[in-house]
Amino acid sequence: MLSGWSRIRQSMLRLGVVVSSAVVGAASASPAGAAPGQSFSGASSAATTWWPTAVVMPAPASNVAAATTDPSGATVGYATGSDGIWFIKRVGGLWTRTKTPYRGKVMDTATDNTGTYVAFTDLGTSSSSVEALRVGKRLASGRYVPSRVIASPFSWFPVFRSAALLASGGHWRVFYDYLGCSDVCGENRLQETDDAGRTWDIPSVPANLGEVTVFTRLKAAWMPNGVVALMGVTGGIDANTGGAQTTGGDVWFGRGTGHGYNGWAFGRLDRRADTTDVDVVSRYMTLFVTWGRPGTVMTITNNGRAWSAPRALPAAGAVAGTRTAVSLGHQYIAWSDSTGLRLAHRVLYGPWTTTTLTRAAQPRSLATTASSGLPTVVFSVQKVAGIEIRALTQR
């Protein structure tokens, strides 16, 4: 009989996923080598200049924003303000913001050639104040589509913890996790819903030591042939409160077509159990993955056949908002730690250089995009009036 992990490992191998049996995360790990047939060249980020810091959302805003790069190369996304959700857009060094009809907390964004989507949570207007997950869309024409309720669990204490949104050709899929009390308190569900209104449960990774496993901080990326890469962080249920533990967890990776239990295979990338968040993007038939943990930012790639050797980038103290972007053979990773807002850069697949973008006003990394080989970093700062969302873009 195969163990639970052995069965998952064999299933992942059938899907083309190769997971190292060794713990990913040694600080002395060597840089990843270039994928066969790929070579890139370019100038170091240290040789470039920056547009003046832009105020994307004035205080008081919420410490929540999501951004991506649309087909034209513009940075687009959504931010939560004190009076609802705003659509944000950058072309060159100019940022604009437009009030949307949506209200709630931004969870994720995605874009395709038909518009820009947003997944957000909304308490609604009912007296029960049951939290709902919704998806809205700004069409390329600038018109906003009425949001759709994706999930409103039949429980008296639902809490949506994260959501990952993908879009292509006018269609979308959203992956989300929530905690609630229905049959039992502390119930955790991981689900997928598409724009046709179909919903599927996603199978869980076997828990360690019989512990109930929580999946959160979800991130997703398209892979070739409609395959989805789904990543997140695991953690246990707090036995005292029934809620999710707030400390970090393992890094897990899933790959599949979705649409139910049979479409997924999962495995762990890092068992250090202190990861705070994770991010993934897909470029050049390759997955670029990064995650943060105290004192270290990890990065790794998968070319569809195997994982590269991991690389550890030094950080200072607690790491938050680890985000990555890839464009024209350049990869960027932004995060915030005790020294400020940090940005690492490499020309694929060369050495990394790291710089501090700003230390002022307790910056916190929120989103990172890249276009024409240059990055945009969206971050928040603490002002007297509250949270302010800003952005820096190389030119």
| DSSP-assigned states of every residue in 210-249 | GPPEEEEEEEEEE-GGG-EEEEEEEEEBPTTTSSB--S-E
The whole-number mean pLDDT for each consecutive block of 10 residues of the chain, a chain of 395 residues, reads 37 41 32 34 56 95 93 96 94 94 95 97 58 92 94 61 94 86 60 90 56 74 87 63 56 81 79 85 95 95 91 95 97 97 96 96 95 96 94 95
CB 8 within 8 A of CB 205: yes
Q: How far is CA 288 from CA 115, 121, 160, 262, 279, in A?
A: 25, 28, 26, 25, 8
Which amino acid does the sequence have at 88?
A: I
For residue 247 the two structure tokens come to 């400390």
Strand bridging mode 249-256 / 386-393:
unpaired
Coil, strand or helix at 98: strand
* Residues 266, 10: Cα–Cα separation, whole Å: 10
Encoded tokens for 300: 């790794």
Instruction: Say how many Å lie between the first and final Cα of the chain, rounded.
Output: 58
Q: What is the DSSP string of 129-156?
A: ---EEEEEEEETTSPEEEEEEEE--SSS
Encoded tokens for 164: 């990952």
Strands in 249-256's sheet, in edge-to-edge order, are: 213-222, 228-236, 249-256, 264-275
Backbone CA torsion sign across 113, 289, 44, 367: positive
Q: Is the peptide bond before 144 cis (omega within 30 degrees of 0)?
A: no
Q: Where are the domains of the chain?
A: 4-393
The backbone torsions φ and ψ at residue 134, rounded to the nearest 5 degrees and listed phi first, read: -130, 160
Q: How many beta carbons lie within 10 A of that of residue 338, not counting itself?
A: 11
Return the pLDDT at 123. Answer: 65
Write b or e for each residue in 100-112: b if 16 or more Cβ atoms lie within 10 A of its Cβ, otherwise e.
bebbbebbbbbbb
Write phi, then psi, for 129 (nearest 5 degrees): 50, 45
Read off the pTM.
0.84
Report the relative pairing of strands 364-371 and 353-358 from DSSP bridges: unpaired
pLDDT at position 186, please?
Answer: 53
Strand order in the sheet with 353-358: 320-327, 330-337, 340-347, 353-358
Q: What CATH code is assigned to 4-393? A: 2.130.10.10
DSSP tag of 261: G
At residue 375, φ and ψ (nearest 5 deg) are -95, 155
Phi-psi region of 297 (alpha: psi -120 to 50; beta: other; left: phi over 0): beta
Q: How far apart are CA 314 and CA 340, in angstroms?
A: 13
Neighbours of 214 (CB within 10 A): 24
The SS3 assignment for 8 reads: helix
The pLDDT, as a whole number, for residue 235 is 64
